Amino acid sequence: MKIAVTCENNEVFQHFGHTPGFAVFEVEGGKIVSEKQISSGDSGHGALAGLLAEEKVDVLICGGIGAGAINALGVAGISVVGGAEGNVREAAAAFVDGTLQVRADFHCNHHHHSEGHSCGGHTCGNGSCSH
């Protein structure tokens, strides 16, 4: 199984569509056996789903994410676990052992990223998100 986690500075990035990259973990026998970082480049929401599909990712762990991105990932066969926070390796390991704690309000319900808005537990504006 491969797990991707939205990532900036080894922390779970809080807005899928603006993530600078992903930490990708390969899991075998209930243990993380490899880890690498990949850049999202200038990819938008739809292209990010394709990037993760090319990496053969099975599960995405992220902070906030919108319904369109969830749908695009679903079409690519990638399950989404939103509402995560903290260190990416710790989040992936917690997912593997079934102890990952997530916020229930992780859906971003917006269409325009240029204006400030609230995305379930964090505030977004000017292309960045913070708690």
Read off the pLDDT of residues 63-81 as tens digits, 9 standing for 90 and up.
Answer: 999 888 999 999 999 999 9
The whole domain housing 106 covers 2-130
Helix (H, G, I), strand (E, B) or coil at 54: helix
Instruction: Determine what percent of the chain is predicted with pLDDT higher than 90.
Output: 66
Domain count, the chain: 1
For residue 127, what is the DSSP state?
A: T
Q: What is the CATH number of the domain that holds 9?
A: 3.30.420.130
This model's pTM is above 0.85: no
Convert the pLDDT of each residue in 27-61 to its tens digit.
999 999 999 999 998 766 668 999 999 999 999 99
Q: Is the distance from CB of 69 to CB of 43 less than 8 angstroms? A: no
- Return the number of other C-beta atoms located less than 10 Å from residue 13's C-beta: 23
